[in-house]
Structure 1
Amino acid sequence: MVVKGITNRFSIARNGYGESFIHPCRKIIIQYCNWGGSSQGIRDFLVSERLNGIASRHKQIEFEVIKKSGHPVITGFYNNGRNKPICVRNMDPIEINKKLEILMNSSGDILRRWTKNDNVRSLNKSVRGIWSPFHGNTTPSL
């Protein structure tokens, strides 16, 4: 018998089916420039110790701060393999806090427009499951 290795390192989040909640956001990288004018807000955010409070409340998310030249960017990495970068140039610390909350509360899925037929999304095509002729009333109605 041939043994296959696991190809996906992350589990698929099916929150509500299991006994535990899997947070979709696994890592957030904060990138800023140490001398650039557009990074002043993110430097004030880091000095004000707001990030330490957020990191202590959300221990399931890994936070990483990188000094790199260029505009400041906050990038969220998710369990489904996607990432979402948000540019936070020339923003004050309150706006940066809001953008960070958006990344932490996001699922990482692609944003798309819902149509009329997309009201329910599920792994099954039907809420009741797969139809079988053995289900339901067996006596013919007159």
Structure 2
Amino acid sequence: MSNSTLFLSSGFIRTPLQNGLGRYIPQLQRITFKFCKNHGGSRGVRDFIESDLMDFAKAHPGTVVYLKPRRHRSPCLVAEYLNGEREYLSCHAFSRDEVQKWLSHMCTKSGIPVMRFRKYQHTDYPTIQGVWNPFTHQAPEINTADFPHDVLSKPSNQEQTATEQLIEIFKKTQLKEMPEKEDK
């Protein structure tokens, strides 16, 4: 584990209300542009507002866009998501393209904070038996065997194979149907 993950909260993978199973619901509820009308550090945000904001608003009709001019303050973006989370991004000295890239990043996020994952799988009802996989109860001889193998290919608890059982069931049903057809 690296030192950068020590200060992250830990948790499990969550999806917001199974989003995407029925229809996709964008999780970004509102975005607020805070900028200064005169300061040089807000130039990229101002350029984005003048040229690309209307296209963004048309492409994302479910997202409310607020513009908040502030005097002598550094520009920032505030994204608010449906789950109540807020994300602040300082846009000091960003170019127009950088603002656009960060905005598209915020639009595609779910609003769930970045976290360190505890495990690869999670269940609400944990088992005491451990994690199952297809090779859990297999014979270890299979690892080195060359197939077809005479001993491993034969079923241990049955004299007949499944194919032989199906052929026998088919023949029995054919014999039952034959006398009915002759009686008619």
- TM-score between the two structures when normalised by the length of structure 2: 0.55
Match of 1:23 among 19, 22, 26: 26
In the TM superposition, residue 54 of structure 1 has moved relative to its aligned partner by 1.1
CA, structure 1 residues 41+82, in 2 after alignment: closer, same or farther (shift >3 Å)?
A: same
Structure showing greater Rg: 2
- Alignment coverage as a number of residue pairs: 111
Separation of aligned partners in 2, 1:121 and 1:101: 30
CA, structure 1 residues 37+60, in 2 after alignment: closer, same or farther (shift >3 Å)?
A: same
User: What letter corresponds to residue 47 of structure 2 in structure 1?
Assistant: D
Aligned to 1:96: 99
Which portions of structure 1, spanning 4 or more consecutive aligned residues, are displaced by more than 3 angstroms? none
Correspondence 1:54-73 to 2 at 5 A: 54-69=56-71, 70-73=73-76
Correspondence 1:121-132 to 2 at 5 A: 124-125=124-125
Percent of paired sites with the same residue: 23
* Coordinate RMSD, CA, aligned: 2.0
In the TM superposition, residue 13 of structure 1 has moved relative to its aligned partner by 3.2
Deviations 1:2-45 (A, max 9, x none): xxxxxxxxxx633145x332211111011100111111111111
Match of 1:41 among 36, 40, 44: 44
CA, structure 1 residues 121+77, in 2 after alignment: closer, same or farther (shift >3 Å)?
A: farther
Structure 2 alignment gaps of length 5 or more = 1-15, 127-156, 158-184
In the TM superposition, residue 121 of structure 1 has moved relative to its aligned partner by 5.5
In the TM superposition, residue 72 of structure 1 has moved relative to its aligned partner by 0.5
- TM-score between the two structures when normalised by the length of structure 1: 0.70
Mapped contact 1:13–1:24 kept (Cα < 8 A): no
Separation of aligned partners in 1, 2:94 and 2:105: 15
CA, structure 1 residues 43+15, in 2 after alignment: closer, same or farther (shift >3 Å)?
A: same
CA, structure 1 residues 29+14, in 2 after alignment: closer, same or farther (shift >3 Å)?
A: same
Separation of aligned partners in 1, 2:38 and 2:99: 18
Mapped contact 1:38–1:71 kept (Cα < 8 A): yes
Structure 1 alignment gaps of length 5 or more = 1-11, 127-140
Separation of aligned partners in 2, 1:13 and 1:51: 29
CA, structure 1 residues 14+91, in 2 after alignment: closer, same or farther (shift >3 Å)?
A: same
